[in-house]
Chain A
Amino acid sequence: MRSHFRSLLCVFLFLFSLGSFPVQAQTRSIISNLANPAIGFNALFKAQVAPDLDQPYGIEFEEAEISLISTVDPYWTLAANLVFAPDGVDPEEVYATSSSIPGIGLKVGKIRGSFGKHGLLHTHAFPFIQAPVIMANTIGEEGFKDAGIEAAWLTPLPWFCELTLGGYHAVGPDTDHPLDFGSSNHDNIPYLGHLKNLFDVDDNTTLELGGSFLGGYGADGLHHSAYGADLTLRNVPLRQSNQQGWILQSELLARDSWNNDGSFASHDAIGWYASLQYRWSQVWWTGIRVEEAFNSFSDVMVSKDPATGLPNLDSNGNAIPVAGHVQRLSANIAWAASEFSMIRLEYSGARETPDDESGTVWDNRIMAQMNFTIGFHPPHAY
C-alpha cells in the first residue's frame, strides 16, 4: 500500500514538474505572427437629405472594408478586400498578383476588371459620393467585379502604354453586374481589352488616354458588350504634391447587344461624365461634376399609371423602374484632416426624363460622408 502511495506520489510529482515547463514552451512558440499580412480597415458613413427619394433621413452605415495583403512566396502576392455592407458581406476582391514575368503583370482571382477609370475605384476612393449614373447602367456601379485572370503588358514604347487582356467567369445580371454574361455555353468566356496611355506633359502634368472593351454572351443568347473611352488631365505640382493640384477627368461609356449572326440588336445605355477636382491646400478639396446618361435607370424614375400618376407596382408591391434620360450636376467640398480621415459635403441635382414619357422628375440630394481608415492601406493608383 505504502509502495503504491509512493509510486502515485512520484507520478504526481513528475506530472507536476511537467506543468512548470509549458511557460517556457509558450514563449518559444513554433507559431509566429511575424509573417502576418498587412491589415487595413476602412469605414464609410453617410447622411442624406433627399426630398425626392422615398427614404428616411439620417446617418447610415454605408460599408466597411477589410484589406489584407502579403507576399505569398517569391513569386506571388495575395490581396483581399472584404466588404461588409448592410446587405451582407462581399469578398469584393481576392486575388493573387505576380511580377515574375518580365513586362507582364499577372492578376488572378476575384478581381475588379481593368475597365475605364471610375470602374477601378473602391467606394471610399470615389471622387464624389455617388458613382456616375452611367456606371451602374454599363459595367456596374463599382466596376466590373468577377473571377478571372488579367495580364497587363507594359509595352516597350517610349511612353507608358499598357495593354491589358482579361478573361472572366460567366456571370448573369444582378445588382453588381448590369451586363448579362450568364450564358452557360462553354464558349462563353467574358473577355476584356484595355489600353492605357499616359504622357508626361511637363513635370507636373500628365495626360492619360484610355480605351476599354468588355464582351460576353448572355443567357438570352445575345452578345453583350460595354465600351469605354477616358481622358484625364492631372496636375500635381511636384513642390506641393501634398498641398495643391487638380484633376480634370472625362469618361464615355456605352453598352449594347448583338445577335448571334453578328447583326446589331440594341443600344442598351450610353452616357458620359466630366469632373474637375481641385485641391486648395493640404486638407481641402473641392469638386464639380456634370454627367448625362441615356436609356439608363436611376433611383427615382419609375413606371407610372398615366391616369392616376401613381407608380405601377410589381407583384411584390415594388415600383417598377423605367429607363430614361438623366442629367446630373454634383458639387462637393472635402476636408481631409489627415491621410486617414475625410469628411465631405456634397450636393447633387438630377433632372430625369423617363423614356415612357411619363414626365420629368427631379432628384435633389444633400449628402455628408465620413471616411475613416485604420491600419495599413495600400496606396491608391495615380
Chain B
Amino acid sequence: MNPLIRTVAVCMWCLTAIPAFADLKVATSLSDLASVAEAVGGKHVSVVSLCRGYEDPHFVPAKPSLMKAIQDADVFVSVGLELDGGWLPLVLPGSRNPKIQAGAKGFVDASEGVNVLEKPTGTVSRAEGDVHPLGNPHYYLDPLNLKIVADHLAQVFSDLDPANASDYAAGAKNFDGKIDKSMVAWKKELKPYAGARIVTFHKNFNYFLERFDLKLFSTVEPKPGIPPNPRYLNETAESMQKAGVKVVLYQPYYDADAAKQLAQKAGGAAYEVPTEVNGVPEAKDVFAKFGFIVDTLSKALGGK
C-alpha cells in the first residue's frame, strides 16, 4: 500500500474510531437523567447529556453536533411529557441511529410511571401561555420521582445488557436508598418553613414545592413562556408585599434582572438555584443539586 494512503487511512481510523470501553453508551436529554443513569449503570455505562444543566431544557439549540453525539448511543433517555419536544424531534432522527428512535428498545421515556402534576383537563389553550398539554414535565424536581426513573433505567439496561443485570439492579437499589436517606435530611432542614410561599420564575418547581410542603405564590413570568412586563412585575411585587412573600427563585437561563427587580420591589431577595444538575457549579449530581436548593431555600426562608 502506498505509504501516503496508509498514513491517511490510519489517521482516519484514529479520528473515527470511538472507543467502546463501556458496555452501554447512554445519552439523555437532561443532566439529571444522566446523573441517575450514571448511578444505576456505574462502570458499565458511559453517559452524555445533550442539555447542559445551565441551559433552558425547553429551548436547547438543535445543533447537528448533538446528533453526532448520539450517533452511536445504545440508549437514549428522554425526559418525556414534551419538555424536549422543541428540539428532540430534530436531534433524534438526525442521529441516523435506529437503536434509539422512539419505539426502539433503546428509547426510554423517563416520565413513564411518574405521577404527573397539572395535567390539563378540558381544552388546552395557548391563551394560557406555552402550556404543556401532557402536564407539568419538571417531575425531576421531586427526588422521589428519580427513584422511579432509576428503577426504569435499571430494567432497560438489564434488557439490553443482561450480563450485567444484577449490577444494574444493585445500582438502582443503592440510588433509591441514598435518595431515601437524603430525603430525611432535606425534609428536616425545610420542615420549619412548611407552608411558606415563594415565587419562582417558571412553574418548574411545583413538584419540589409539593414534596417539601411549600407553596407557590406566583411566578415571575405572567404565563408560561411569556416574558414579564413592568406592569405585571409591579402588581406581583405589590401582592407579594401584602402577603409577606420575600423569596424569588430563578434559574441560570432566565432573565435574572426581572427576578431581581421583582424581589427588590417586594422587599425580598432573588436566588439563583438550578433545576438541573450542573445548573450551578456546586450541583455535580442530583444529590448535590437538591442539597443546594434545600440549603438556599432554608437560608432564604430563614432570613439568613
Q: B253 interface residue, CB < 8 Å from A?
A: yes
When distances are taken between beta carbons in the complex, the residues of chain A under 8 Å from B130 are 338-339
Asked if A379 is at the interface (CB within 8 A of a chain B CB), the reply is yes
- Tell me whether B227 and A283 are in contact (CB under 8 A): yes
Contact assessment for A158 and B54 in the assembled complex, using a CB-CB cutoff below 8 Å: no
**Is B59's beta carbon under 8 Å from chain A?**
yes
Q: B189 contacts the other chain (Cβ, under 8 Å)?
A: no
Residues of B within 8 A of A198 (CB): 63-65
B97 with A99: CB separation less than 8 A: yes
Question: Does B2 reach chain A (CB closer than 8 Å)?
Answer: no
**How many chain B residues touch the partner (CB < 8 A)?**
41
B55 touches A239 (CB 8 A): yes
B275 at the interface (CB under 8 A from A): no
**Contact status A381-B59, CB under 8 Å:** no
B87-127 at interface with A (beta carbon < 8 Å): 87, 89-90, 92-98, 101-103, 126
Checking B63, B87, B98 against A206 with a beta-carbon cut-off of 8 angstroms, the contacting residue is B63
Contacts of A99 in B (CB 8 A): 92-93, 95-98, 101
Q: Which of A101, A338, A374, A379 contacts B87 (CB 8 A)?
A: A379
| Chain A contact residues: helix, strand, loop or mixed | loop
Are A378 and B89 CB-contacts (below 8 A) given A157-B16, A200-B63, A281-B227? yes
- Find out whether the CB atom of B227 lies under 8 angstroms from the CB atom of A74: no
- List B contacts of A200 (CB < 8 A): 63, 65
B177 interface contact, C-beta 8 A: no
| Interface contact A339-B98, CB-CB below 8 Å | no
Q: A interface, how many residues as a size bin?
A: 35 or more
Chain A residues with Cβ below 8 Å from B129 are: 338
Known: A242-B253, A282-B255, A339-B225. A156 touches B16 (CB 8 A): yes
In the complex, chain B residues whose CB is within 8 Å of the CB of A239: 54-55, 252-253
Residues of B within 8 A of A241 (CB): 55-56, 59-61, 253
Residues 250-284 of chain B, each 1 if its beta carbon lies under 8 Å from chain A, else 0: 00110100000000000000000000000000000
Given contacts A160-B65, A379-B62, 18 further A-B contacts (CB under 8 A): A71-B102, A97-B93, A99-B95, A153-B96, A154-B68, A154-B95, A200-B65, A206-B65, A238-B61, A239-B54, A240-B253, A241-B59, A242-B59, A243-B255, A338-B225, A374-B126, A378-B89, A379-B89
User: Which of A97, A200, A242 has the most CB atoms of chain B within a 10 A radius of its CB?
Assistant: A242
Identify the closest chain A residue to B72 (Cβ).
A156
Residues on the A chain within 8 Å of B103, using CB: 71, 74
Stretch at the interface among A102-110, A219-227, A363-371: A102-110
* Interface residues in chain A, defined as those with a beta carbon under 8 Å from any beta carbon in chain B: 71, 74, 77, 97, 99-105, 152-154, 156-160, 162, 196, 198, 200, 203, 206, 236, 238-243, 281-283, 337-340, 374, 378-379, 381-382
B15 contacts A158, C-beta separation under 8 Å = yes
**Alpha-carbon distance A162/B58, docked complex (angstroms):** 26
Complex CA distance for A105 and B96, rounded to whole angstroms = 6
Shortest Cβ distance from B276 into chain A, in angstroms? 12
A159 touches B98 (CB 8 A): no
Interface centre among B96, B126, B130 (most CB of A within 10 A): B96
Beyond A100-B98, A158-B16, A206-B63, whether A381 also contacts B253 by CB under 8 A is no
Q: Assess whether B89 is in contact with A162, with CB atoms less than 8 Å apart.
A: no
> In the assembled complex, which residues on chain B have CB atoms less than 8 Å from the CB atom of A97?
93
Q: How far is B131's CA from A340's CA once the two chains are assembled, in angstroms?
A: 12
Q: How long is the Cα–Cα vector from A332 to B54 in the complex, in angstroms?
A: 31
Q: What are 20 A-to-B residue pairs whose CB atoms are below 8 Å?
A: A74-B103, A99-B97, A101-B98, A102-B96, A102-B97, A103-B96, A105-B93, A105-B94, A105-B96, A158-B16, A238-B253, A239-B54, A239-B252, A241-B56, A241-B253, A282-B227, A338-B225, A379-B62, A379-B89, A382-B61
Distance to closest chain A CB from B63 (angstroms): 5
List residues of chain A with CB within 8 A of the CB of B226. Answer: 337-338
- For B65, what are the chain A residues with a Cβ–Cβ distance below 8 Å? 159-160, 198, 200, 206
Q: Are A238 and B98 in contact (CB under 8 A)?
A: no
Mark out the residues of chain B between 19 and 68 whose CB falls within 8 Å of any chain A CB in the assembled complex.
Answer: 52, 54-56, 58-65, 67-68
Closest to A102 in B: B98
Residues in chain A near residue B56, CB distance under 8 A: 241-242
* Chain A: minimal CB distance from B56 (Å): 6
| Residue B219 interfacial (CB < 8 Å) | no
CB distance from B124 to the nearest CB of A (A): 11
User: Closest CB of chain B to A363's CB: distance in Å?
Assistant: 35
Q: Report the separation of the CA atoms of residues A152 and B225 in the bound assembly, to the nearest whole angstrom.
A: 35
Chain B residues, CB < 8 A from A152: 96
Q: Are B86 and A236 in contact (CB under 8 A)?
A: no
B206 close to A (CB within 8 Å): no
Given A102-B98, A105-B96, A339-B130, A242-B58 contact (CB < 8 Å): yes
A378 neighbours in B (Cβ, 8 Å): 89-90
**A378 vs B89: C-alpha distance in the bound complex, in angstroms?**
8
* Residues in A neighbouring B93, C-beta threshold 8 A: 77, 97, 99, 105
Chain A proximity of B118: nearest CB distance (Å) = 19
Which of A102, A157, A337 is the one whose CB lies under 8 Å from B15? Answer: A157
| Chain A residues positioned under 8 Å from B94 (CB to CB) | 105, 154
Do the beta carbons of B52 and A238 come within 8 Å of each other? yes
Tell me if B136 counts as interface (CB < 8 A to partner A). Answer: no
Which residue of A has the minimal Cβ distance to B224? A338
Minimum C-beta distance from A36 to chain B (A): 14
**Beta-carbon contact of B86 and A379 below 8 Å:** yes
Residues on the A chain within 8 Å of B225, using CB: 338-339
Nearest Cβ in chain A — how far from B12, in angstroms? 8
Q: How distant is B173 from chain A, measured CB to nearest CB, in Å?
A: 33
Closest residue of chain B to A341 (Cβ to Cβ) is B126
Instruction: Sort A-B residue pairs by CB-CB distance and give the 7 closest, nearest first.
Output: A160-B64, A242-B59, A156-B16, A198-B64, A154-B96, A236-B61, A160-B68
How far in angstroms is the closest Cβ of chain B from A37? 13
